[in-house]
Each structure stands twice: as C-alpha cells, then as structure tokens.
Amino acid sequence: MPLLPESTQRIRAIAARYPHGQSALIPALYVAQGEQGSLSDETLAEIAGLLGMTPVDVKAVASFYTMFYRQPGGKFVFQVCGTLSCALCGAEELIRHMEEKLGIRAGQSTPDGRFKLEVVECLGACGSGPVMLLGDRYHHNLTPELVDSIIDELKTAPLPEGLPAPQVESAGKPER
C-alpha cells in the first residue's frame, strides 16, 4: 500500500533538513510505520525513492533495528530486555509472567492482534532493569504488579498511532 500524501510530505520535509537523504532514514521509517503499522517491501522501496537511496540499503536498516516491524503484529508491542543485566534483575520471571497474563509466548501476538510480546537485546537502561519498551516509552524497574497494571490499562485504551521516536518514561522509579 503506498504511503499517504501526508506521510510523503512529512518524509520530504524531514529529508530537507539534512544534506544527504540517508540521514533522514530512521525518522522516515518511523513516519511510514506510524501510518501503516509495519514496513512492507513496497513501502521500503517508496522511502528509498524519496530519500535517493537503494531499496536494499533501506531494507538493511529496517531489518537491523528491533523498533521497526517488517510484519504486522500487535498494536501494543512489549519489548522486554532479555540480556544479562535485566535477567539478573528478574526479566526472565517477568517475561514468564507476561506470557501467562497475555496467554501467548514471547514472539507471538494475542489472537485479537492487540498485544505482541518480544524479548529483545539490550535497551540501554541496564541500571534500572528489568526494562521494557512499549511503543515509544521506556518502563524501568518493572515488577509483575506494574506490568499487570500496564496491560490492564491497555486492554481498554485506544489503539496507538505512530510516534516519531522513543521517549524515556518510568513505570517505576529507579532506586539509588
């Protein structure tokens, strides 16, 4: 499905801020994913044309980063850090708890397509694990109770629209 004219205009406006089109690639991918929910080969080729890049170069970047989805998934995607620092803080138990609460395994989406659970590599917040990226928000120092409250709130929340980039927000306060 081609990008909407509004998204094409946004990508062109972003690209105009940089001397080279490839510098606008990450924000352009966010714009496209925000509109379409995932990044098809057709969409990547369209972005490549807008930025003066090859489709293979755009696909390489979109495939490298875990925040870009090549296949449609859940509307709310829980990306839980599974690396050592978070594992030592209870990430493995938290992931098992989330699997039970959502009725799915890591890597799957709920049957209604509302939630997806992913275990990802380091989210860069090793001092406040376990950490989860949900949409564009980081949640730190997670417990099963905090995750339950987030999931319960999202069960009735409006479905998200794409946002330009992740922002930092804590579900729990880091301990010092």
> How does pLDDT run across 70-108, given as a tens digit for each residue?
877 778 889 999 999 999 999 999 999 999 999 999 989
101 and 30 co-located in one domain: no
- Distance separating alpha carbons of residues 176 and 127, to the nearest angstrom: 10
49 and 121 co-located in one domain: no
Which residue segment(s) compose the domain that 141 sits in?
Answer: 76-168
83 and 155 co-located in one domain: yes
Q: Is residue 46 part of a domain?
A: yes
84 and 160 co-located in one domain: yes
Task: Check if the beta carbon of residue 36 is closer than 8 Å to that of residue 8.
Answer: no
CATH label of the domain that carries residue 58? 1.10.10.1590
Which residues face 116 on adjacent strands? Answer: 77, 109
For position 160, what pLDDT does the model report? 64
Q: Is residue 173 part of a domain?
A: no
Q: Is residue 98 part of a domain?
A: yes
Q: Using pLDDT thresholds of 50, 70 and 90, give the confidence band for residue 38.
A: confident
Res. 170: pLDDT tops 50: no
Q: Is residue 60 part of a domain?
A: yes
**More confident: 47 or 111:** 47
For position 66, what pLDDT does the model report? 75
Task: Tell me the pLDDT of the chain averaged across its residues.
Answer: 87
Q: In what order do the strands lie in the sheet with 137-139?
A: 115-120, 76-81, 132-134, 137-139, 167-168
Domain boundary among 35, 64, 93: 64
The three-class DSSP label of residue 63 is helix
Total domains, the chain:
2
125 and 153 co-located in one domain: yes
Percent residues over pLDDT 70 in the chain: 90
Residue that is written with structure tokens 């928000």 in the block? 137
CA dihedral of 52, 57, 62, 64, whole degrees rounded to 10: -150
105 and 131 co-located in one domain: yes
125 and 96 co-located in one domain: yes
Which of 53, 111, 106 has the alpha carbon at shortest distance from 78?
106
37 and 108 co-located in one domain: no
For position 163, what pLDDT does the model report? 41
94 and 164 co-located in one domain: yes
Q: Could you count the other beta carbons within 10 Å of the beta carbon of residue 35?
A: 17
86 and 131 co-located in one domain: yes
Percent residues over pLDDT 90 in the chain: 66
